[in-house]
């Protein structure tokens, strides 16, 4: 990944490749191939960033949220690669759910990866890799939301006010699903969860 000559074109290629996937299996196989391009050093940087962003949260919320932050990234990372190792994609020949939203998600990714915002810096001297670190996040979210039909935030993720991402009668509900519309690159805008009616 670090030897890419044109990062903008590469991320556009990846987003277009995602959008071209017709089935969940096609998408999962494509995502696994792209995720494998991140080396051990990049995974260490991403892990440090997850800890960094969690550490700035106030307690007791910080400790409630921490295990879900780990699951959000590396639980899904390992699950994605496990599916790839066991040839799980051959079992997933159904179409990607909510094609229209999925294609909007893919279209958003390149601009989101190169957004110019005052995010917390990534650890180390890794400025050139930041767009790809953003991409890693979107690849894992695509796996969760469009291959597994799960919310972007894992089930059980707590939010301030005592709300959690939860499942009821076969549907997922989230307290912030419809509250991130002004943040155009937020996964919430593309999430299969429904807005929690207890927190309208």
For residue 63, the enclosing domain spans 7-151
Q: SS3 letters for 106-159? A: HHHHHHHHCCCCCCCCCCCCCHHHHHHHHHHHHHHHHHHHHHCCCCCCCCCCEE
| Whole-number pLDDT of residue 186 | 92
The pLDDT of residue 4: 79
pLDDT in tens, 122-156: 777 788 899 999 999 999 999 999 999 999 999 99
CA 164/CA 184 separation, integer angstroms: 23
Find the helix or strand (DSSP H, E) in which 184 lies: none
Residues of the chain with pLDDT under 70: 1-3, 117-120, 200
Domain tally, the chain: 1
Model pLDDT, residue 180: 77
DSSP state of 45: H
* In-domain check, residue 41: yes
pTM: 0.92
Please state, as a whole number, how many other Cβ atoms lie within 10 Å of the Cβ of residue 86.
10
Residue 185 lies in a domain: no
Evaluate whether residue 96 is within a structural domain.
Answer: yes
pLDDT at 118: 60
């Amino acid at each position: 990944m670090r030897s890419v000559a044109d990062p903008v074109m590469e991320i556009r290629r990846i987003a277009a490749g995602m959008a071209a996937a017709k089935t969940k299996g096609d998408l999962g196989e494509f995502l696994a191939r792209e995720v494998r391009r991140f080396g051990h050093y990049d995974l260490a940087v991403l892990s440090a960033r997850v800890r960094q962003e969690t550490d700035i949260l106030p307690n007791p919320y910080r400790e409630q949220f921490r295990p879900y932050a780990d699951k959000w990234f590396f639980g899904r990372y390992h699950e994605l690669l496990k599916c790839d190792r066991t040839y799980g994609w051959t079992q997933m020949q159904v179409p990607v759910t909510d094609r229209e939203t999925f294609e909007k998600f893919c279209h958003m990714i390149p601009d989101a990866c190169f957004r110019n915002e005052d995010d917390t810096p990534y650890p180390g001297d890794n400025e050139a890799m930041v767009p790809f670190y953003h991409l890693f996040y979107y690849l894992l979210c695509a796996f969760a939301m469009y291959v597994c039909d799960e919310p972007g935030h894992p089930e059980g993720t707590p939010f301030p006010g005592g709300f959690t991402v939860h499942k009821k009668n076969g549907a997922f509900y989230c307290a912030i699903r419809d509250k991130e519309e002004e943040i155009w690159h937020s996964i919430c805008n593309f999430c299969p969860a429904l807005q929690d009616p207890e927190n309208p």
